[in-house]
Amino acid sequence: MPALDKLRLFFEKAGLSRFLSHLDINRAFLRALLAAGVPVRYSEGFNPHPRIVFGQPLPLGVAGLREPLDVLLSADAEPAGLAERLSGQLPSGLRVVQAAPPQRELKEIAFAEYETSLPAGSASAFAAFWDQPSVVTVKKSKRGEHEIDLKQLAARLETSVDGEALLVRYLLPCSSDGSAGPHQLAAAFADFTGRAVPMSHIRTGFYTADFAPFQ
């Protein structure tokens, strides 16, 4: 069997860890990898950096069930038991759920799947909101602000009521051609209703351009 030169981790981000910044998450994983004895590869040059690559950074406050992270290795490593060892070194709310050789490249990620929970009493308002011909909101980025139409971007959106919660499950693009996230959905719904509606968001997984689950 050839030596493993790259390891893919899938991790969960929940609880208070939802409010850790991407930089904090990066540092936490590097400490855990080194403590677990994983031979992390470093870049060459005068200021070497660890070669760890996250799939798609999570928006602050959004939980994640299966977030991908690639670790380039300087020597062979054994994935068996690694998820448990790393989880024991990570802050509360961060947990590695799988460690294995990658099956696809991170650049193949095209869509992110989200689940947004809001009060069940909002069901009729949300149905009217999504029944509009277009759902336009403003997206802010480092390049400025621009309008996006969530109705055009969403590859799928389904709703269901679970007790006192309305669950909205949807796919949004997260490629370089265009992206959107749950905060844009929340902002658009607030504009429609005229008030902020309490919501919580979870990113449940990723899909490729042909809608195959990303592994």
- Max Cα–Cα distance, the chain, nearest Å: 60
| Banded model confidence at residue 145, pLDDT cuts 50, 70, 90 | confident
**Mean pLDDT score of the chain, rounded to an integer?**
93
Render pLDDT for 35-77 as a digit per residue (tens, 0 to 9): 999 999 999 888 899 999 999 889 899 999 999 999 999 998 8
CATH of domain 6-102: 3.30.70.580
User: Which residues pair with residue 157 across a beta bridge?
Assistant: 170
Q: What is the pTM of this model?
A: 0.91
Instruction: Supply the pLDDT for residue 4.
Output: 78
According to the 3-state scheme, what is the secondary structure of the chain? CCCCCEEEEEEEECHHHHHCCHHHHHHHHHHHHHHCCCCECECCCCCCCECEEECCCCCCCCEEEEEEEEEEECCCCCCCCHHHHHHCCCCCCEEEEEEECCCCCHHHEEEEEEEEEEEHHHHHHHHHHHCCCCCEEEEEECCEEEEEEHHHHCCEEEEEEECCEEEEEEEEEEECCEECCHHHHHHHHHHHHCCCCCCEEEEEEEEECCCCECC
By percentage, how much of the chain surpasses pLDDT 70? Answer: 97
The yes/no answer on whether domain 109-208 falls in CATH 2.60.40 is no
Spell out the domain ranges in the chain. 6-102, 109-208
Residue 168: is its pLDDT beyond 50? yes
Q: Do the domains spanning 6-102 and 109-208 agree at the CATH topology level? A: yes
